[in-house]
């Protein structure tokens, strides 16, 4: 069941940092940058939005916290490439957008916005054609495009791009070819509101200079929030900023309890995905005292071989089948202190032949990656643990990608709706392209009919003062220490096996960090600035994730409650968060 069906309130606390800045806020001098459409985030979604806005003939500015082609999950350096689901029916002639939609709905378990899922399935074929037209080379075999099955998909629909360098070159080239103005290494800290309408943003560059962006429309495309967790497969800039920033401005958030968790490698190649398909070889899993532990966790009647068979079918953890016992057992062994030397569990594939380990294209891609780093899994044991991979929930958007804040659009992993409790593998990339293109188009059309807001000269003082205070503070809280505490408490309590008492403990710890540590942060140089400014976003989003997980007293898809292990058919509505003045409320509804 879902608890607290009515609204629940608590106060919004932004630590030492500003909430969304009202136009009458006074500040000191700052650099002002003007544009029609401001796109925040330069992953696949932000770049696609910027291309579309530019094509509409409006001034477009792309701002990224990291470097172009380096920041965000789109360019995750330890990845092998991408899968992109689009029902063009090349390999399987019977595949249609309708079939694609059915797969999304089945994976979603009632948690997605069906109209957004339908748009995703219908428009993915057009958007992949755009990418091909722009010059992205998808893999071919014997002159035909390859299409693989992805997790939770019934037909071979995933187009493949192998090689992160190829992806990087393509997107940086696309930005250049469309003459899109870019500001890299610049972090947006808050949105600027004029009478509750978004009219720009305020940020800071890597040297610590505050920048005010004046814009007619703003697109949020800041990706997910993997760095809220100790172990994650995201680049370090992905800290849930967009979700928290837009929420402070009045946007709604939904489905925060659903995110993808999968095995990542701790040794010998850190922060690399463990290819889920390898579970089909039924590897031996040992804890730190060399005990094969999985069978200790299997209820009577559940067969270990069946667990491995299901586990090989999907990379992310899901409560939908018996494969869940592998993740639950592995996580519990680590949490209870029986981990290996690198903090994980050991996977033994040494009894599998090299040929068998490379029999499938996904395995082959994984094999090449680990071999390139000098590791041979047929000779040595690997150490793995659960890592956070991608969020399924985020900012609530409509079909035009509008959030509930006028002038603010959202696309890509930051946005909720197209995905639900589980997400079919290879569906986030099409989501970045389908909703990125829509966001760019609608934001540009709006910009054409709007006057540009003119920032008050001193609008950024609060941020400048906040930065100066952190720089001057001598014996304050170290950014690294506060970040470590947030990541550890989130990873230990909000992965699998969520329990009421653990979630309550996590929430109170986050509140304590927010109230006692964030106002006392000290930074010694500007290298720490982005991390320091991200901490309040991490805490605010983390608190809402925990609250959503607490409210959902059942297990569904990627959300596993140890104390409520079954799915409750009466809980098929999403948890939606809303800001009302200084209060945060949440309720449940169908998206």
Using CB under 6 A, list all residues that contact ligand FAD: 40-46, 63-66, 71-74, 76, 79, 82-83, 187-188, 221-223, 233-234, 237-238, 241-242, 273, 389-390, 412-414, 426-429, 432
Smallest separation (angstroms) from ligand FAD to the CB of 295: 30
Return the DSSP state at 590. -
Nearer to ligand FAD, 81 or 89 (CB): 81
Smallest separation (angstroms) from ligand FAD to the CB of 372: 16
Nearer to ligand FAD, 10 or 145 (CB): 145
3-class SS at 181?
Answer: strand
Nearer to ligand FAD, 111 or 201 (CB): 201
What is the per-residue DSSP string for 387-418?
EEEEES-EEE--TT-B-SSTTEEE-GGGEESS
Do the beta carbons of residue 545 and residue 494 sit within 8 Å? yes
CA distances from 190 to 19, 45, 210, 211, 434 (A): 7, 20, 11, 11, 26
Closest CA to 250 of 513, 19, 28: 19
Rounded Cα gap, residues 131 and 74, in angstroms: 14
Q: How many CA atoms are closer than 13 Å to the CA of 332, on its beta-carbon side?
A: 14
| Residue, CB closest to ligand FAD | 43
Smallest separation (angstroms) from ligand FAD to the CB of 4: 30
Nearer to ligand FAD, 232 or 502 (CB): 232
Closest CA to 459 of 248, 190, 60: 190
Nearer to ligand FAD, 106 or 348 (CB): 106
Rounded Cα gap, residues 439 and 435, in angstroms: 6
Smallest separation (angstroms) from ligand FAD to the CB of 548: 19
Smallest separation (angstroms) from ligand FAD to the CB of 361: 13
What is the torsion angle, in degrees rounded to the nearest 10, for the CA atoms of residue 263, residue 268, residue 270 and residue 273?
-30
Rounded Cα gap, residues 588 and 591, in angstroms: 9
| 165 CB burial (10 A radius; 0-12, 13-18, 19+) | exposed
Nearer to ligand FAD, 153 or 432 (CB): 432
Closest CA to 219 of 518, 442, 546, 471: 442
Q: Which two tokens stand for residue 350?
A: 């040494």
Rounded Cα gap, residues 282 and 157, in angstroms: 26
Smallest separation (angstroms) from ligand FAD to the CB of 9: 27
Smallest separation (angstroms) from ligand FAD to the CB of 67: 8
Do the beta carbons of residue 153 and residue 92 sit within 8 Å? no
Nearer to ligand FAD, 223 or 557 (CB): 223
CB neighbours of residue 168 within 10 Å = 16
Let me know if 320 is a catalytic residue.
yes
| 303 CB burial (10 A radius; 0-12, 13-18, 19+) | exposed
Task: Say which of 311, 320, 438, 579 is annotated catalytic.
Answer: 320
Q: For the sheet containing 382-391, what is the strand order? A: 272-273, 259-267, 382-391, 345-348, 284-286
Return the DSSP state at 34. E
Smallest separation (angstroms) from ligand FAD to the CB of 522: 21
Nearer to ligand FAD, 74 or 339 (CB): 74
Active site residues: 320
């Amino acid at each position: 069941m879902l608890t607290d069906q009515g609204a629940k309130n608590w106060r919004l606390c932004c630590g030492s940092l500003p909430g969304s800045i009202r136009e009458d806020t006074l500040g000191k001098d700052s650099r002002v940058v003007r544009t029609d459409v401001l796109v925040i985030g330069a992953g696949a979604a932000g770049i696609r939005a910027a291309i579309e806005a530019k094509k509409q003939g409006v001034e477009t500015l792309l701002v990224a916290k990291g470097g172009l082609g380096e920041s965000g999950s789109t360019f995750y350096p330890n990845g092998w490439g991408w899968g992109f689901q689009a029902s063009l029916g090349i390999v399987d002639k019977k595949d249609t957008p309708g079939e694609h939609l059915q797969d999304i709905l089945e994976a979603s378990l009632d948690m997605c916005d069906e109209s957004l899922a339908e748009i995703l399935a219908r428009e993915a074929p057009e958007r992949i054609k755009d990418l091909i037209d722009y010059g992205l080379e998808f893999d071919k075999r014997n002159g035909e495009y390859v299409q693989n099955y992805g997790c939770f998909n019934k037909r071979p629909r995933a187009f493949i791009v192998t090689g992160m360098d190829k992806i990087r070159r393509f997107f940086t080239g696309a930005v250049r070819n469309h003459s899109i103005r870019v500001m890299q290494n610049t972090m947006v800290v808050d949105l600027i509101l004029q009478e509750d309408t978004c009219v720009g943003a305020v940020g800071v560059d890597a040297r610590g200079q505050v920048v005010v962006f004046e814009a007619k429309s703003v697109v949020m495309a800041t990706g997910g929030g993997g760095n809220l967790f100790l172990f994650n497969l995201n680049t370090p800039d992905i800290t849930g900023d967009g979700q928290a920033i837009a929420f402070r401005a009045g946007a709604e958030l939904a489905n925060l309890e659903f995110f993808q968790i999968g095995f990542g490698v701790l040794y010998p190649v850190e922060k690399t995905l463990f290819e889920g398909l390898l579970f089909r070889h039924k590897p031996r899993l040992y804890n730190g005292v060399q005990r094969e532990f999985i069978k200790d966790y299997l209820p009577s009647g559940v067969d270990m071989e069946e667990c491995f068979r299901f586990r090989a079918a999907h990379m992310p953890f899901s409560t939908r089948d018996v494969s869940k016992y592998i993740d639950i057992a592995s996580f519990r062994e680590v949490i209870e202190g029986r981990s290996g030397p690198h903090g994980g569990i050991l996977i033994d594939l040494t009894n599998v032949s090299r040929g068998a380990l490379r029999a499938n294209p996904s395995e082959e891609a994984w094999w090449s990656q680990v071999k390139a780093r000098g590791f041979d899994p047929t000779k040595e044991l690997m150490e793995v643990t659960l890592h956070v991979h991608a969020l399924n929930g985020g900012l609530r958007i409509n079909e035009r990608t509008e959030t509930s804040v006028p002038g603010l659009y959202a696309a890509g992993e930051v946005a909720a709706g197209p995905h639900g409790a589980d997400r079919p593998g290879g569906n986030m990339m099409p989501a970045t392209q389908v909703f990125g293109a829509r966001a760019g188009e609608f934001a540009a059309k709006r910009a054409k009919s709007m006057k540009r807001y003119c920032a008050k000269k001193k609008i950024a003082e609060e941020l400048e003062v906040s930065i100066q205070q952190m720089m001057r503070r001598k014996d304050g809280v170290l950014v690294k220490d506060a970040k470590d505490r947030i990541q550890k408490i989130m990873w230990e309590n909000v992965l699998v096996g969520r329990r009421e008492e653990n979630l309550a403990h996590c929430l109170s710890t986050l509140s304590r960090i927010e109230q006692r540590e964030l106002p006392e942060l000290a930074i010694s140089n500007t290298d720490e600035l982005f991390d320091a400014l991200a901490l309040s976003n991490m805490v605010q989003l983390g608190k809402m994730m925990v609250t959503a997980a607490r409210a959902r007293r059942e297990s569904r898809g990627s959300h596993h409650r140890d104390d409520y292990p079954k799915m409750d058919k009466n809980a098929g509505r999403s948890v939606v968060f809303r800001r009302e003045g200084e209060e945060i409320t949440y309720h449940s509804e169908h998206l």
